Each structure stands twice: as structure tokens, then as C-alpha cells.
Amino acid sequence: MDRRLTKDHVRFRLNSRQVAVRPGPGERLSETLREALDQRDVKIGCNAGDCGACTVLVDGDPVCACLTATAQVEGQVVETLKGLVETEPLTKRLMESFQDLGAAQCGICTPGMMVSAVALLRINSTPSNSDIEDALGGVLCRCTGYRKIIEAVSRAGDGHIRPPVADGGVGSGIRRLDGERKVDGTENFGDDVAPPDALVLQLIRSPHARAGFEFGDLDAFVAEHEGVVAVLTAGDIPGSNRFGVIPDFVDQPVMAETEARFRGEAVAAVIGEPSAMRDFDQDTFPVEWHELPSVTSVTDARAEGAPQLHEDRADNIMCGGFVKTGDAAAALARADVRVEGNFRSGFVEHAYIEPEAGYAICRDGKVEIHACTQAPVMDLEAMEAILGQDRSHIRIVPTAAGGGFGSKLDLSVQPLIALGAIKTGRPVRIAYTRTESMQSTTKRHPSDIHLTIGATRDGRISGFKFDGDFNTGAYASWGPTVSNRVPVHASGPYRIDDYAARSTAIHTNCPPSGAFRGFGVPQSAIAQESLFDELAEKLGMDALEFRILNVLRDNTPTVCGQVFTQGVGIGACLEALRPAWQDEREAVSEFNRQAASEGSALRRGVGVAAGWYGCGNTSLPNPSTIKAGLRGDGTLVLHQGAMDIGQGANTVIAQIFAEAVGVPVHQIELLGGDTDITPDAGKTSASRQTFVSGNAARLSGQSMRRQILQLCNAKDTATLSLEEGRISVTSDEGTHTIDPSRLDRDDEGYVLTSVETWDPPTKPLDENGQGAPYAQFGYAAHLCVVEIDTALGTVVAKKFVAAHDVGRAINPMLVEGQVHGGIAQGLGMALMEEYIPGRTENLHDYLIPTFGDVPPIDTIIIEDPDEHGPYGAKGLGEHVLIPTAPAILNAIHSACGVRIRQVPATPSIVLAALKGKRDD
Amino acid sequence: MGFHSPATLSEALDLLAGSNATVLAGGTDFFPSLKQGAVPETLINIARLDELRGITKVEDVWRIGAAVRWSEIAKAGLPPFFDGLRLAAREVGSVQIQNAGTVGGNLCNASPAADGVPPLLALGASVELATADGTRTLPLERFIRGVRKTDRAEGEIVTAILIPDLPAGTRAHFLKLGSRKYLVISIAMVSTVVRADAAGRIEEARIAIGSCSAVALRIKGLEAAVTGMTLSDLRNNPRIWGEHLNVLHPISDIRGSAGFRADVAGELCRRSIMSCLLMEDAAGG
């Protein structure tokens, strides 16, 4: 041991080495491990013990490193995932089983999961599912829905590891190609890549929903604070202080100029040395706030005389959407039965476990931005405007994204760190705190929907009138998209000849509502699918058969007048639920009979709901470009620009490409979405990557294959193999061997390249929303069994059966992963999640599902191929949560006879409904 | 200034005397409430003080060291009347929190939703505090004085929780209601300690409710009302709590309305007492 160690040093064993550090008083072990000891496999998700991502073992016991003072582990043994990978054989088994089962999606929670699992398996090699849930229950996951993790830990315990699937073509459920680094702690997320000399940036944010502000002497502030290097305000922005994602609605400032329009909006940034920023007290920043009257609900925002958020948007109305076909009023008037209702939902937070993070650096005449994102090229375009610089001076290097779900489509940290790096000439980093991530980034739109639906006695829909107000928050973000999508989708996947749907996006002094898995469709599906149940009940029809009777089929028009002659798989999804619908209802009746006779307060119910979602942009161009190259050494390189945010694009796009080329997927080298080397594969949004980028990958692969075959004039039926730098082309005419090293190389070292673009064919919508908004839809139907404690109002989901028409499952394991994760998020929205500014700004007041909240899920994959999809594939990412919440609400009604029309259906709300009174 | 890990309690108390130091144990409440840039100048780590560790019984009193962690309680071999405390231990946050958080810290943090308080109230616990000058003991009811307020004076450290032994056959239980399975801050929680005679009639019941008032409360009226009752009396009286819960003052917050809390607290009491009566050997023990 080093003799120069002082009493200020803290000594402990970290994995297999002895370390000595000098932490500040009260420095968290998580910070010491990451910053002083380069142990960046320890992830920080909340800094409050709410997420468990930072779990390490101290003397064998799992603890949150963020709740442990470094000085407290003096003399103890600290183990992290990276260390366990080296020393603990159980970890190897977990690494295998996690990959085999898709138990790691984005991977940000995986170190916490694996470390907790090691602690469990050390004392219990055959844990039950409930043992696993108890042991891992302190770690949150937002991607997987937990079931695959439970199975992976169980399998690692019993040692039943299956051999990896070999070929990896379309249709095979291979492991994620980027899976190993997700499970061994080496994946680099937004906060894992900053160089040691990076300055740290912190933001000064509005404490009020609306406030004017004035700065004091900022130069004096910098001068007086040792270690503070610079302050940024709106005045430091060389280009336009506006960003946004929809061209006509670019309205959000990087930092507010004179007035903050929501709580948490940034007005200034302080940049300093890490040690200074660690101790920086934000109260010392010279800003004076003047709180102003604000509007935080749609009702307030529409009231006469309400404060206006944007001068050019009268009555706080940002925009609206409208779809009309037939005559809804007349059809409702002649309907034999009618149902109507008001439905409400609140803000929903994405709650990915990785807060926004990254760093920027000025290098080689460019500003490089290394950060987590869902849309690197959109980031690039927005940064051009903000910096007033051509894109040749900007480089976006995406890190792994620890979840996104829509919110990482928008800029967050990117302009701030870039401005900081330009101003200081040094690398500048930031990781949002959990609270600022929740305060400042986009949310799911709160909705206030009025819906009336009629039906004739024969069970056919007769008239559908939908009116929805959506709280779009302070800035536009993806609000216009939500407005457009909702009227197109509010019918659900049903034939409705007489239809009118209007949506309105209304500004409030709340965080911007933006993109969140489903873009408003989950909210409208709650209203439509709940009322479909009521209609069926009024008609005396079976709820599932009523849906099947009205469902869209091939050759029936959607409410936009779009007719698909093929690939409408919703009928098959609903029909696939029939056996479970029968069995589960029988089981539930028996359960309820038994419970009633025993005097138990428990009741069970079964509900179904369906959903659809148009893949890609609504009636707008939406191209993806995929580039590939063959190196002189025979390596086939795929420039994979479709951001993998956990869903598996790195694997799926590569599988499609490999299939098209005709080589095993594991022989392909992947490059990421770095904008200097990879063309634009569009944003990871709107369930478009498998569909749109997948098609570009297919074309790129086919082009590469053609070029290779042309080298030896081989027929298209020839088989290719890549071995030891040579390509063998075998056909009935014999085998040719190509030596790529003998071919000419371009500037990038490629002897062959294939760059292909695909854009889904759509047509514009007219003033009544008639047209062809999407080239394909995907379809889904969920069945849910719930158990309600009628004395306490608690609702527990017991089982899901989920049928999804994915056209063609490129990777069935990843399909299941999406289904599980979507259901978990839909369940959260239905039962527990509501973001309230100022009140639920952390992960212990804002509740997302934990282990034990997500029940077993049977996934039924329907493959009704789509003519436009690559190998028939359809998008899936959004579809997976659209039917979940209404299926749960319908199951609650089935269990106890109450209709819940607002989410989340917390115990308080459910019990009040059971007692037939309004919740006070 | 700085971080201190004293080797003995008396060293810790000497450091604390007259200083503005903050006492740190498990850290599970300290770190989440830490404001950016506002780390206390002096921290005294008591998590590993021997005097604050271990669970012992001296004559008729059980002594739980203040720095005993919740996971140690969950695993400890204790008589059945500790079952309520052990169930609560398993519901404190998560395994990670239970491996760090201490019983003493839970009390000092004085959250209305502290999981440890209802079971300790039902057990009739007292709190032992030490200063450099000596120790004092006071009932838990008097130690916690309000939301985030305790009777702990400057210079004092909570050293132990003292629990009088209870007759064999006494059973205990704990129920916590939240909106999800793990990492739950309770909407309401109940702990009960019950002893029944050979015929299954309740001889003594202690009932404490948390999260339904500023400080968790014993419900003496309901305790008296259920005395003499049997399992079937409880089964047949769905609203056994009657007016006895009027002593609670629940608030409406994001987790649930006041009315909801009042409704469910009573039902949790009824179920918790019934659970005690249903435990093996509960009657006539």
C-alpha cells in the first residue's frame, strides 16, 4: 500500500484491486466509482435510491451506490458488474441467459439487475419467481416489462443455457448483435463518454410555471466563483434561439429570453470545473424571478382573458386535426343504441432510466456532440440553425441511448454543451438530474376527450363523433403530429362509415408535450375501446365478437378513405384471442363465485381491446438511407443509422441487410449513426425503423449482392460466403472466389458500396382528412385479466394475452420484447403514472411499474405480410401499448362493474368509483 | 470539518457535542434530500459503531441497536410478536434500501410514511438516546413529534430501540397499501400485535396506523373495541372500526385522497388483526 496515504484517504477493495481515494465529505460512492475510479459500468438513474441502476455489492450485499458515502466503505469490498464479470462465474451465466432471452433492451438498468441477481444466486441457486422479484425489485426497468429478466435469472440459476441460434436471417430470434456490451457493463451511454478534463455544465431553471426574470452582474458572478469558467444565456446563441421538430412550429428557445413559460425551463447555464460545480449552490446565481399569472390546464388556457403563451397563436390554440367521412350526426340519430362519455388522462413521463446526458468538444474545425438521441440527423439540422453554422462544422456522435420512447427525439442537452464547448474551448459535459429530466423534457399529452358512438341493432357501428383537447404544454414539439394522428386513428381498426373526429392542441404553462409511444393514439384508444365495450353491453353482444364484426378487413376503407387490399391483420389478432377469452372468462367466473362464497373482497375480470397505428410520418416524406461497403479485407460493413434505443434496430436492420445480401448476420460489421460517416436513416419514431429503414437496408443489401455477383457474372440464385477475406460465389456453374483486396478502393477504403433510400408511398390528406396517410398500419389486440380488491380499490393485472400483426417477425425474440415493454408502459399509464409539475418530479412520487406489477404475457405473433414491408414486416413499437390501458379498464369493469374513465386508475379513484361517489 | 468515522460511541458523541455536524447512518434518507451543492461541512458516520449494532435481550427488554439495518431485522431469529416489524422490514423501499437503511434512521427521519413506526408503536417501543453526558429513554410516541420533527436534541444520538418482551402466543402483522409492488411509499399502513385466549378471543390488541396522520398513531379506541372478539366476529363486521379512526387526520395528496385513506385504513386494521388470529398457534399460546 502507498505510504503517502493520509487519513483523508478512503481505502477499499474494488473488484479485484485495492484502491485509495480522497472523496469530498459526503461524496457518493456512485460518483467516486464513476469519476475517480473510471467504473462507468455503475449507472446513475436517479441519485435517490428510486431506480437501483447504481446497485453495487458492499461486502456482498446489494446497495445503491448513490445512497452510500464513499467514506463509509472504508475497508470493505465493493463489487460492480465489470468486476463480477471477471471474477464470478454466475455472472457469465447471467450474461448468456440475459442475451438469449432479450432481458436487456437499452441496457441502462442491466448492471443493476445483474449485480442484484448475482447477490441472489450466490445464496439461492434455484430461486422461485417471487424470490427473484424480491431480490431485483429495487431496480427499475422501463423497456422489458421484467418478465424476461425473471426468466433469465431463473435460467441462469438452473444452468439451462440454450445454444445461440446460428444463421440470423429474417425470421430468426437471434440475440441482439450489441447484446454483449449491454450485459458486461461496457456499453457507453450519454454520461459515460466525457473525457476527464471536461468542464461541467449546470442549468438555471425557472421555479415557476411562468415568470419574468432579470440577471444580476454575470461577469462578477463568474469572477467571484472560483472554478466557474463561464455563464451562457440566450445572448450567447450565435444563430437562432429556436428549435422544434415540425418546420412550421419551431418555437422553443434553448434558453428563455425574457420569460420562462414552464417550470423547469432553462434560462442560463453555468460552466465550471467539476470540483467547483459539485459544490455549486444554485441559489447563489444572480437571477431575480417575477412570477406571472399562468395557465396549467386546458380549461384555464381556453378561459376568456387567459394569459396567452404565444402571440401568434390566438386563444392558446396551437393547431388542430380533423377527419370526416359520411355523416356522423345523421348516423348517430338513426342508431338504435348510443353511448357517450368524457375521458381524461394526465401527463405521462417517459421515465427512461438514463437521464439526458452527453458532452461536446471542438475538434478538427467541428463541434462534436456526443449524446444520447433518437434522431442524430434531426439534431444536426437543429444545431445548424442554433449555431448559425453549416453542417460541415457539426458532428453528431450518438451514444447508446438508455431508453427514449419518443422524448429523446427532441433536443435537450445538445445545444447547451455545444455552446459551452465553443465558448470555453474545452470539452463540456452535462447529465440531467432526474428532476430536471422530468421537469424539462417532453411528456405524453394530457387528454380531455368527448366521444359519442352509435350502433344499429345488428351490431354495426352507426356514427362516431370524437372531440379531443390535448394539453400541448408551453412549446410545440410533436404536438402538431399528435393533433394530426389522433383523428386518423381515433376510430380504432374498425370500419366506420360515418365519422367525425376533431383534435385541438392547446398551450399551457406546462412542460412541452411531445412524442411518446403512440402519439396521442393510446389516449383516444381508451375512449373508443371503453365505449365499444359499453356498446356491446347495450346490444347484448359479446365484447370480442362485437369487435370482430366491425373490424377492418382487406378492401374495406379506413375513416380516411384509404383502402388496403392486403395486410389488414386486425381480424386475425382479435380472432386469435377467442380461446383465451373463453377460458379466462370461465376461470374468472369460477374465481368470483368462490371469492363471494368465502366473503373475500377480491374479484377478477377479463377485458379486451384493439389498436392500430400507421407506420411512419403522416402523409409526409419520410425516407431512410442505408449505406454499406465492402472493404478490401473482405469485411462487409453496414452503416446502421437507425438509432437503437433498446428496441433492437441494430439487430433487425442488420438481419434484413444480411438476408438481402445472403450472408450470415454475424459476419457483418456495424457502424453507428455518427453523422460524419453514416447517412440519414431518419428518426427512431412512429414505428418506422423496421419498416422504412428496413426497406432501405433490404435495397442496400440487394444492391451489394448484385454488385458482388456481377464481379463474376453469377446468377442471382448463387450463394455467397465470406471467408478469410475472400468471397465465394457458388452456383450450379461452380464456385468463383473473389479477392476484394485486388479491387480498387474508394476514399473510405471500400471496394464496393451500396447506398439506397426508401420512402414510404403516402398521399396528402384533404380538408376532411381523406387520403392515404400511411403506406402501412400495424395491428394489435390485447386481453387482460385483472384482480381487484373491492375493499381497497387496488387493481393487479394477473395475465395478458397479446396478439400482434407484425407482417413478418424479423426477430421474434425482439418482437416479444417490444410487446412486453409496451404492455408494462400501458399498464403504468392505466394504473399509476401521472406527472404533475412541482409534485411528481422524481421516481418515488412518479410511479412506474416495478417487478411484480407486470404479470405473465402470452405473445401471439400474427404474420399477415404487408406488400410494402421488408419481407412483409410491419412496424411494432407504438402498437404494443395502444390496447393495453383500455383492456385493463374493460377488465376492471368486468371484475366489479365500474367504468373508470380517467387514468391513472389509482386505488383512490377505483374505490371512489366502487362506492359510487366522486373521489375527493 | 470533513467526514468522521469514529470508532466508538463516546468518540462520536464527543465529536457531535457543540458542533453543527450531521449524523449519517444508512444514508437512504440523507442523500435523497441533499440539495445540490449543500453537503454539510461535517458528517459523523455512525453506521458501523459496535454500540449501535446487534439485537439482544436483557431480562425482559429487547434491544435493537439503532444502526441495525432493515435486512438484519428481516433475517433475525426473533419471536413471532416481531413478525409485524419483520414484515415491515421487508417492505422498506427495496433490498438495496433494506441493506443500508437503519431502524434508528427511519425514526429520526420522522416521515409520516416511515414503515418502521407503526410496528414499533404497536410493540410499545421506546427510544434510547445518548449524549456525551449520559442517556435517556422515552416512548416512541413522544420521540416523534411531527412531520420530520423529533425530540432528538443537538448533540444527541439515538442508540437503540427498546421493546418490552411479550407473552408467548402474541402475534403481530403488518400491511402496507401502495399503488405498486416494490419501492412503494405507502398510502396507508397498519401494524397489529394481538394475543388471543384458548378460544380464539382477543385478550389484547394493539393497532397502529401510519401515513394517515402527521405521525403514525396507536388507535386505542379500536384496540378496546376488538378486545373480546373472535375471528368470526371480525369476519362478520365489515366496518368494525366505526368511529374509532376519527383520531386520524389523513391528507389528500397524489397518492390518495383523505377519504380513501380513512376508508382503507380501517379495512387494513380488520385484515391485519384477522391475519394475526389466523397465524399458527395464535390462539391459546
Give the model's pLDDT for residue A167. 77
Quick check: A918 pLDDT over 60?
no
**Nearest Cα to B159, choosing from B9, B58, B18?**
B9
Give pairs for B81-84: CB < 8 Å, separation 24+: B81/B123, B81/B166, B81/B170, B81/B171, B81/B172, B81/B193, B82/B123, B82/B172, B83/B171, B83/B172, B83/B173, B83/B174, B83/B279, B84/B118, B84/B119, B84/B122, B84/B123, B84/B172, B84/B173, B84/B174, B84/B191, B84/B192, B84/B193
Searching chain A, which residue's CA lies closest to the CA of residue B252? A920
Q: Where are the alpha helices (DSSP H) in A139-207?
A: 147-158, 179-183
What does DSSP say about strands A857-862 and A794-805: parallel, antiparallel, or unpaired? parallel
Q: Please write the tens of the pLDDT for every residue from A514-542.
A: 999 999 999 999 999 999 999 999 999 99
Angle, CA of A621, A625 and A629, to the nearest 5°: 170
CA distance B60 to chain A (A): 32
Best A51, A284, A792 member to test B by mutation, with max B CBs in 10 Å, is A792
Give me A587's grid cell.
376461470
Phi, psi for residue A350 in degrees, rounded to 5:
-65, -40
**Separation of alpha carbons A503 and A448, rounded Å:** 10
- pLDDT band for A165, please (50, 70, 90 cuts): low
Taking the Cβ of residue B19 and every Cβ of chain A, the question of whether any pair is shorter than 8 Å is answered with: no
Chain A residues with CB under 8 Å of B278 CB are none
Average pLDDT per run of 10 along chain B, which is 285 residues long? Answer: 93 95 97 90 96 97 98 97 98 97 98 97 98 96 97 97 97 96 95 96 98 97 97 91 93 91 95 93 45
**Separation of alpha carbons A267 and A511, rounded Å:** 14
Give me A388's grid cell.
448559425
CB atoms under 10 Å from CB of A554, counted, come to 13
- The one-letter code for the residue type at A176 is R
Give me B125's grid cell.
417501543
Quick check: A575 pLDDT over 90?
yes
Mean pLDDT of A872-892: 97
Q: Please write the tens of the pLDDT for every residue from A366-422.
A: 999 999 999 999 999 999 999 999 999 999 999 999 999 999 999 999 999 999 999
Give the model's pLDDT for residue A6. 65
- The one-letter code for the residue type at A432 is Y
**Nearest Cα to A50, choosing from B111, B90, B94?**
B94
Give the model's pLDDT for residue A160. 67
Q: Which of B3, B95, B263 lies at the smallest CB-CB distance from A137?
A: B95
Contact (CB, 8 A) for A589 and A894: no
Unique residue bearing C-alpha cell 466508538:
B8
Q: Please write the tens of the pLDDT for every residue from A49-100.
A: 999 999 999 999 999 999 999 999 999 999 999 999 999 999 999 999 999 9
Q: What is the mean pLDDT of chain A?
A: 96
Q: Please write the tens of the pLDDT for every residue from A436-492.
A: 999 999 999 999 999 999 999 999 999 999 999 999 999 999 999 999 999 999 999
Find the Cα–Cα–Cα–Cα dihedral A105, A111, A116, A122, rounded to 10°. 110
Total count of residues recorded for chain A: 920
**Nearest Cα to A836, choosing from B131, B80, B254, B62?**
B254
Mean pLDDT of A805-816: 98
Searching chain B, which residue's CA lies closest to the CA of residue A120? B95
Taking the Cβ of residue B113 and every Cβ of chain A, the question of whether any pair is shorter than 8 Å is answered with: no
ipTM of the prediction: 0.97
- B97 and A906: CB-CB below 8 Å? no
Give the model's pLDDT for residue B283. 45
CB atoms under 10 Å from CB of A194, counted, come to 25
Residue ranges of A 875-904 with Cβ closer than 8 A to chain B: 904
Best B183, B269, B275 member to test A by mutation, with max A CBs in 10 Å, is B183
**Separation of alpha carbons A274 and A284, rounded Å:** 17
Give the model's pLDDT for residue B282. 46
- B31 and A28: CB-CB below 8 Å? yes
Strands (E), A197-325: 199-205, 211-215, 228-232, 259-260, 266-272, 287-291, 317-325
Phi, psi for residue B222 in degrees, rounded to 5:
-70, -35
Q: Please write the tens of the pLDDT for every residue from A2-28.
A: 445 567 899 999 999 999 999 988 999
Give the model's pLDDT for residue B39. 87
Contact (CB, 8 A) for B84 and B123: yes
- B94 and A71: CB-CB below 8 Å? no
- A67 and B100: CB-CB below 8 Å? yes
How far, in whole angstroms, is CA A730 from its chain's centroid? Answer: 43
CB atoms under 10 Å from CB of A158, counted, come to 12
CA distance B271 to chain A (A): 11
**Separation of alpha carbons A247 and A480, rounded Å:** 10
**Separation of alpha carbons A160 and A167, rounded Å:** 22
Positive/negative CA dihedral, B61, B64, B65, B66: negative
Give the model's pLDDT for residue A369. 98
Report the interhelical angle of A479-489 vs A521-539 (nearest 10°).
Answer: 20
Taking the Cβ of residue B225 and every Cβ of chain A, the question of whether any pair is shorter than 8 Å is answered with: no
**Separation of alpha carbons A426 and A418, rounded Å:** 10
Q: If you write DSSP's letter for every residue of A335-369 in order, what string do you get?
A: -SEEEEEEEEE-BEE---SS-SEEEEEEETTEEEE
- A279 and B39: CB-CB below 8 Å? yes
Give the model's pLDDT for residue A164. 58
Taking the Cβ of residue B265 and every Cβ of chain A, the question of whether any pair is shorter than 8 Å is answered with: no
* Element (DSSP H or E) covering residue A891: helix A884-896
Question: How many CA atoms lie less than 13 Å away from A376 in the CB half-sphere?
Answer: 30
Chain A residues with CB under 8 Å of B39 CB are 24-27, 279
For residue A446, whether the previous peptide bond is cis, meaning omega lies within 30 degrees of 0, is: no
pTM of the predicted structure, to 2 decimals: 0.97
- A852 and B181: CB-CB below 8 Å? yes
**Nearest Cα to B124, choosing from B78, B84, B96?**
B84
Quick check: A703 pLDDT over 50?
yes
Q: Please write the tens of the pLDDT for every residue from A234-282.
A: 999 999 999 999 999 999 999 999 999 999 999 999 999 999 999 999 9
- A67 and B32: CB-CB below 8 Å? yes
**Nearest Cα to A339, choosing from A612, A551, A609, A527?**
A527
Phi, psi for residue A619 in degrees, rounded to 5:
55, 25
What does DSSP say about strands A499-507 and A317-325: parallel, antiparallel, or unpaired? antiparallel
Give the model's pLDDT for residue A2. 43
Contact (CB, 8 A) for A137 and A112: no
Quick check: A917 pLDDT over 70?
no
